Amino acid sequence: MLQMNNVEVFYLNVIQVLRGVSLTVDEGRIVALLGANGAGKSTLLKAVSGLLAVEEGRVTDGSIQFNGQRIENRNPTDIAKMGIIQVLEGRRQFVHLTVEENLLVGGCLNRDKAQIRKDLELIYDYFPKIKLLCDQTVGYVSGGEQQMVVIGRALMARPKLMLLDEPSLGLAPLLVREVFEIIKKINDEQKTSILLVDQNAVAALDIAEYGYVMENGRIVLDGPAAKLKSNEDIQEFYLGLSTAGSKKSYREVKHYRRRKRWL
């Protein structure tokens, strides 16, 4: 469904963020993208959704194809109409609108009112908590509920591919589990393909089928999610576990133990 081939991205024609990135998301699958802060994960998502232009960024080399069509540097509205919807990091809300009004914004490309109402009820089935808050101003509901709203708003656009940027950010562990269970349920029932970026490597790899690891704008490791979870480097860097299973301070881990395959 999504194919990135040797993609390079520059901001302001000066700052290079992505350096020859290649990545694939097959139809109906969840793919996790892992990496430290500043690795280029959000930039990668924006390159796919067309939002780079908002920040004066541009794909300068390589190609991005969605269902066989080249989409790099295209207008983000056109990309959204093709079925690629991004949920931005930080729970971007229309804070003075109600929960339901925020959801309805996601259906703005749909002119069928009956279908919009049907889609809205589907969102409430996935997120029964926010149905109880539908008339509340969204700026006054909890962080977890806001995250459910932004995912629901994306679903209102009936995406073929959903790009999720840090959906667990700032959430308590129980809410993280709940949100990720719903993401997996959406993938299973709606067959929506998902490219998932999250610092919570355990939660992301638990629901993903395949994963990629980014470092300094490059993909340095990829493989089936189960294989990545058992990888010693992933365990040490993300989980703070040494090979003996003992906890290890992140400060002691200056870098991955780069093997030849990473270089």
Distance, CA of 260 to CA of 128 (rounded, Å):
49
Residue 7 · residue 203 · CB < 8 Å:
no
- pLDDT at 251 (0 to 100): 43
pLDDT tens profile 241-253: 555 444 444 344 4
How far is residue 101 from each of residues 12, 32, 93, 179, measured CA to CA in Å? Answer: 36, 30, 11, 21
Tell me how many degrees the CA angle 221-225-229 measures, rounded to the nearest 5: 80
Q: Give SS3 for 20.
A: strand
- pLDDT at 200 (0 to 100): 86
**DSSP state for residue 133 in the 8-state scheme:** T
Distance, CA of 197 to CA of 43 (rounded, Å):
11
Long-range contacts of 233-242 (CB under 8 A, 24+ apart): 233/257, 233/259, 234/34, 234/201, 237/36, 238/34, 238/201, 238/202, 239/201, 239/202
Which ranges of the chain have pLDDT less than 70?
A: 238-263
- pLDDT at 250 (0 to 100): 38
Q: Enumerate domains of the chain plus CATH numbers.
A: 2-94+159-227 (3.40.50.300), 231-263 (no CATH)
- pLDDT at 58 (0 to 100): 96
Residue 2 · residue 66 · CB < 8 Å:
yes
- pLDDT at 144 (0 to 100): 87
How far is residue 82 from each of residues 1, 77, 170, measured CA to CA in Å? Answer: 12, 9, 31
- pLDDT at 205 (0 to 100): 93
- pLDDT at 213 (0 to 100): 92
